[in-house]
Structure 1
């Protein structure tokens, strides 16, 4: 008999505890838990560098290339961003048009376009380079109108003649103006043509060179992160 009374008392106590948590409290607890789960699942905003071997970090460890250095800078400042290195050695603007859609599966908060250098070194028709840069920008703007776009200006040695070299350099400010995007006037400022800051090929920056490129980019990036 005592055992039965004890069991009934235990059930009564548990039931009282359960119903003391009213529907509102249970609902609030569920909302808090759902909010915490959603926060965990929320992705960091993306900064996408889309370019050629300069972006890829040819000749050095990828983490030492300027996209990796941008990630390090953001982390050190407590900025919650995910940097994606979309660099491919040997890439031309035409190649970039062909692969940009794959990189736009996720929305980038900031998109940095660094292409054209290989076009210039190969003597590709300047109108084609300009058209391809515009197509890539159009694709980003069309799919993600809120994405901030930076266009990295490039220069090439005068191997193809002075006229071609000057017209190539002029492409970037023209595209930036036409498409209303921000221009980094010359990505390799204070690096290009300086022997000790480039690999033996004279084209790709050393790890020290990439540190300077970081600052060239950061000047245009810092107010948007």
Structure 2
């Protein structure tokens, strides 16, 4: 049964790539421009920017059901003066993220949550390239404001590209986190990936209930960063 779930997860992950490609240009306009321009934070509040792909963008759900919005609810409930900004674009790769980063960083960001790389892995992009792009994103964020706290969301992929590729892909995230001394979410989809009850019909994007679990995965790390900030 476990192998069947993993195989099913792999099949729907492949669907994500084609889905993301078709919607990428539209999402970039709707999410990257409209959404971000509408969530400019007041100067009196600090900002947490979630920079990622469809998992961050809450694909298939209302924005309020995605984990960045749920993080905002948690922040409000504990009285922390932060604004959560959803900068997710469906189908985004590390290369695409790097290309749009300068525009995103026009606003001041206290905490930068980096959630990219899964689409690279599904397309078999060379691991060296993915790692270099993630490092370049981290470098740009630091160069813009060295006081910005960075949180890296770890990702995993099924072994469709071979076990060696899969294992090395998984290692990218802890390696970068250690090298750059940034906080790591071990696996963003822990407790959600492969569970049909917590994913939409495509089998890859979390349902509203799945997003709640993703939010808790993020919050366990984020709350530590905020306490230090």
Deviations 1:61-91 (A, max 9, x none): 1111000000011111221111110100000
Please give the alpha-carbon distance, in whole angstroms, between the structure 1 residues aligned to 2:170 and 2:201.
24
Alignment of 1:51-200 (within 5 A): 51-200=52-201
Distance, in Å, in 1 between the alignment partners of 2:180 and 2:225 is 19
Q: For 1:205 and 1:217, how far apart are their aligned partners in 2?
A: 14
Q: What SS does structure 2 have at the residue aligned with 1:60?
A: coil
- Indicate the SS of the match to 1:48: strand
Report the secondary structure of 1:108's partner residue.
coil
Per-residue deviation, residues 114-141 of structure 1 (Å, max 9, x unmatched): 0000001111111000000000000001
Report the CA distance between 1:163 and its aligned residue: 1.3
Structure with greater contact order relative to length (CA < 8 Å, sep ≥ 6): 2
Separation in structure 2 between the aligned mates of residue 202 and residue 142 of structure 1, nearest angstrom:
38
Distance in 2 (CA, whole Å) between partners of 1:110 and 1:101 is: 16
Shift of 1:202: 1.6
Q: Cα deviation per residue 1:171-219 (whole Å; 9 max; x = unaligned)?
A: 1111111111111110111111111111122211111000001110110
Deviation at 1:160, TM superposition (A): 1.4
| Larger Rg belongs to | 1
SS of the equivalent of 2:110 reads strand
Report the TM-score when normalising by structure 2.
0.79
State the alpha-carbon separation in 1 of the partners of residues 77 and 216 from structure 2: 15
Q: Does 1:223 align with 2:220?
A: no
Q: Distance in 2 between matches of 1:177 and 1:78?
A: 31
Structure 1: segments with no counterpart, 5+ residues: 1-40
Give CA-to-partner distance per residue, 1:3-29, whole Å, 9 cap, x none. Answer: xxxxxxxxxxxxxxxxxxxxxxxxxxx
Q: Give the superposition deviation at 1:101.
A: 0.7
Whole-angstrom CA distance in 1 between matches of 2:43 and 2:111: 17
Tell me the secondary structure at the aligned position of residue 177 of structure 1. helix
Q: 1:4 maps to what in 2? A: none
Give the 4+ runs in structure 1 shifted more than 6 A: none
Taking the aligned partners of 2:212 and 2:79, their CA distance within structure 1 comes to 20
The runs of 5 or more residues in structure 2 that have no matched partner are 1-41
The Cα shift of 1:223 comes to 2.6
Distance 1:68 1:156 in 2: 25
Structure 1 Cα separation of the partners of residues 73 and 61 of structure 2: 16
